[in-house]
Amino acid sequence: MNFIYKKYGRNTLGGILITILLALIIVIILIVLFFFVYLPRATNHGETITVPNIEGMTISELDNFLTKDLRYEVNDSSYSSEHPPLAVLKQFPHAGAKVKEGRKIDISVNRINPPTVPVPNLVDGSVVNADAVLQSNELKRGRIELVRGAFNVVKEMKYKGAHVEPNVRVPKGSVIDLVVMDGHGGSFAVDNLEGRECDEALFYIRGADLIPEVELVEDTVGIVPVVLKQKPAGGEIVKFGDIVRVWIGKEGTEPPADE
C-alpha cells in the first residue's frame, strides 16, 4: 500500500483514485458478507418446515402437538355443530405449506356456546316444508309424533320433549321434534282460495294433501295471477286426495260460468 502511495503520491490524482477504489472494494466485501453469510444464518435461509393439518384439533391438543418451531394464535371464532368447543375450524397457512421455523399459524376456533336462533313457525305446514325451513334456520328435525288429523300437517313443535312456541330462541343446531297429523281425521272444509295469489293457493292445496288442477282464464305473462274461482268452493267438505280445481288470471277478471 505504501509502495503504491510512494509511486503515485497520496495527494495526486492517481493516489486519490486508488483510495476510492480500495474503499469500494471494502464496501463490496462487506455487502457480500452481509447478504451471503450473516443474513442467511440469521434468518435460517433455506430451512423450512411443513405446516401440519391441525383442523379439528382442540386447543389443548395443539399445545402438545405443535413443537417450538411453530406457534398458533387465535384470530377468529365461529360455530359448527359438527366439532367440539374450541376445536380448530380453519388455519392459515394451510396444511402442507412450507414456512420458516417459528412461524405463527392463525386459527379460527369453534365457540364454546353456540349462537341462538329463533324457532320458525312450522304449525299448519307440511313436513316437507318444515324440513326445508328448519335447515335454512340451521336447526335439525327430530322425531315425528303422529296424532289424528289432516294428513302430513304439523300440529305442534317440541324442544327437548316440551312444547315450544315460534320465535323462542334456541341454540343453533338444536333438534326440533314435530307432532304431525296422520291423515285419519276424516273430512274437512276446504279454505276459500278466491282472491289469493296462485302460488299461495297451490301451496295450501298440496299442503292439505289435495290435488290441484289449474286452468288459465287469460294470459298471465307479466302479472301475478290470482284465483278467480275454485271448485269445490270454500267451505265445502272434501276428503284427503280430492281434486281442487282453480281458475286463475288477472285480478278483477270475470271467472267462467259453471258448466
Confidence at residue 137, expressed as pLDDT on a 0 to 100 scale: 93
207 in Cβ contact with 150 (< 8 Å): no
Euclidean distance between CA atoms 111 and 26, whole angstroms: 59
Residue 104, beta-bridge partner list: 71
Q: Cα Rg for the chain, rounded, in angstroms?
A: 39
pTM to 2 decimals? Answer: 0.45
Which residues have CB under 8 Å from 51's CB, separation 6+? 70, 91, 93, 94, 95, 96, 97, 98, 99, 103, 105
Confidence at residue 208, expressed as pLDDT on a 0 to 100 scale: 80
Q: How far is CA 228 from the centre of its chain?
A: 41
pLDDT by position in tens, the chain (length 259): 555 555 555 566 665 676 777 778 888 888 877 777 666 665 555 567 888 899 999 988 888 888 777 888 898 888 887 889 999 999 999 988 888 877 889 999 998 888 899 999 999 888 889 999 999 999 999 999 988 776 778 999 999 999 999 999 999 889 999 998 876 666 788 999 999 999 999 999 988 878 899 999 887 778 889 999 999 999 998 877 789 999 999 888 888 887 6
Confidence at residue 39, expressed as pLDDT on a 0 to 100 scale: 61
Confidence at residue 146, expressed as pLDDT on a 0 to 100 scale: 86
CATH class of 188-249: alpha beta
Confidence at residue 196, expressed as pLDDT on a 0 to 100 scale: 94
Whether cis (ω within 30° of 0) applies to the bond prior to 93 is yes
212 in Cβ contact with 244 (< 8 Å): yes
Euclidean distance between CA atoms 36 and 74, whole angstroms: 36
In CATH terms, is domain 49-110 a member of 3.30.1330.10?
no
- For residue 149, the one-letter residue type is G
Q: What is the CATH number of domain 116-181?
A: 3.30.10.20
